[in-house]
Amino acid sequence: MGRDDAETIAIQALSFIAGDPELLPRFLAITGIDAGQIRQAAREPGFLAGVLQFLLAHEPTLMAFTQASGLAPQEIAAAHRALPFGQEDWDIQP
């Protein structure tokens, strides 16, 4: 999976989280940011990988997102690995 596709999936995931009144406060508490900082934080390397890591760390949340998005859990994991800080060698070309 390419980085552009991975970023698209992560942005979908962020929208999913932001639209859920139970997930958003949990996500904000875990990340230590407030809702007004999300746009700025999304520009930081590793933030989008962190969004996907949030989903991957909690199976019920992951399954809810996959059902809503039509993506498979393996696609979420692949997107996570394709993003900066989702995998240590993210910037090394194969």
**Looking at the domain assignment, is residue 42 inside a domain?**
yes
Quote the number of domains for the chain: 1
Residues of the chain with pLDDT under 70: 87-94
**Looking at the domain assignment, is residue 71 inside a domain?**
yes
Which residue has tokens 């698209």?
8
**Looking at the domain assignment, is residue 92 inside a domain?**
no
List, in order, residues 6 or more apart from 46 with CB less than 8 Å away: 83, 84, 85, 86
Look up the domain containing 45 and give its range.
3-82
Check if the beta carbon of residue 14 is closer than 8 Å to that of residue 51: yes
Check if the beta carbon of residue 46 is closer than 8 Å to that of residue 84: yes
User: Reduced to 3 DSSP states, what percent helix, strand and coil does the chain have, rounded to the nearest 5?
Assistant: 70, 0, 30
**Looking at the domain assignment, is residue 17 inside a domain?**
yes
pTM tops 0.75, yes or no: yes
70-94 confidence digits (pLDDT tens): 999 999 999 999 998 776 454 444 4
